Amino acid sequence: MEITNFLKHHFRHFNAAALIDAAEGYKAHLDDNGKMMITLAGAMSTAELGISLAEMIRQDKVHIITCTGANLEEDVFNLVAHDYYERIPNYRDLSPQQEQDLVDRHMNRVTDTCIPEMEAMRRIENVILEEWQKADKAGESFFPHEFFYKILLSGKLESEYQIDPKHSWLLEAAKKNIPIIVPGWEDSTLGNMFAGHVIAGDIKDVHTVKGGIQYMMFLADWYTENAKEDSTVGFFQIGGGIAGDFPICVVPMLHQDLQRDGIPLWGYFCQISDSTTSYGSYSGAVPNEKITWGKLGIDTPKYIIESDATIVAPLVFAIVLGQ
């Protein structure tokens, strides 16, 4: 409880206090027999959020995850190529020529961190292409995360791990077979590679990898089965964008489009965002706006922490984990 005690002593006002309130609300939701979805936007995997998120998964504090295609793949990139990553502390001062020098070395920059194309992206492409082609030839199709689960659980990559595997959130999720929703997977490095292989004829059926509509259908079934009046599902949103907006819409879809009765609203909501309240912005919308869309209720516990998720999320997780 050392971290928790420190935070509760010092984090008393403004966004610091909101962090405490949100973390305590998260705990209360779980204690009330609730389940929790975490959504990952931005570059949380490259920021190595897995160090804390993997522990949340191990301790059953997370029951379903929605993430961008980038977060799905970048956790595995980091798992097998961490030693080749380069940190650029002075990234704000880079000249166009210095940026060109990085790309000439096949180093793709994400803020202050460069992902090595050959050691990370191409290495994973070679492994996952085998699974894509195997499914394609068999006339089978799977979700993007299921292909990763197959690879991780097969042990094919174990000899290439360059971090403690306990710090890979995707590996921990695979072990527990946690559902993962990946809307817009096409907007990712491997999504681009898959398109290239279809164009080149290496894969015959573009539907070998299932897409977003099928993910929404899966989520509708999962939510219907898991969200009960006495055991609701909470929504812990890191960042904004499609990782947040896609899954939260399953509730109004069930109500308005399928006309189903007895479907509870989300039972908890928290967003960590550095997007301040603004006009027309999803990420900058205050939680109460979601009431008008049939996503949250008047009495739903709602929190917003306007800060850097790389700082805030591990601290919230520490409190939830009782550290």
pLDDT tens figures, 207-255: 999 999 999 999 999 999 999 999 999 999 999 899 999 999 999 999 9
pTM for the full model?
0.96
- The domain at 3-82+94-321 falls in which architecture? 3-Layer(aba) Sandwich (3.40)
Q: Report the mean per-residue pLDDT for the chain.
A: 96
pLDDT confidence of residue 106: 97
Q: How far apart are CA 72 and CA 95, in angstroms?
A: 30
The domains of the chain are located at: 3-82+94-321
pLDDT band at 274 (very low <50, low <70, confident <90, very high): confident
The DSSP secondary structure of 274-307, one letter per residue, reads S--S-TT-STT--GGGGGTTTSS-TTS-EEEEES
CB 265 within 8 Å of CB 252: no
**Tokens at 115, concatenated:** 């992902």
pLDDT confidence of residue 56: 98
pLDDT of residue 282 exceeding 90 = no
The residues pairing with 262 across neighbouring beta strands, listed in sequence order, are none
pLDDT of residue 276 exceeding 80 = no
**Tokens at 124, concatenated:** 């994973």
pLDDT band at 148 (very low <50, low <70, confident <90, very high): very high
pLDDT in tens, 65-98: 999 999 999 999 999 999 999 999 999 999 999 9
Non-local CB neighbours of 124 within 8 Å, separated by 6+ positions = 73, 76, 77, 80, 190
Give the residue-averaged pLDDT of 293-297: 96
pLDDT in tens, 117-126: 999 999 999 9
pLDDT band at 285 (very low <50, low <70, confident <90, very high): confident
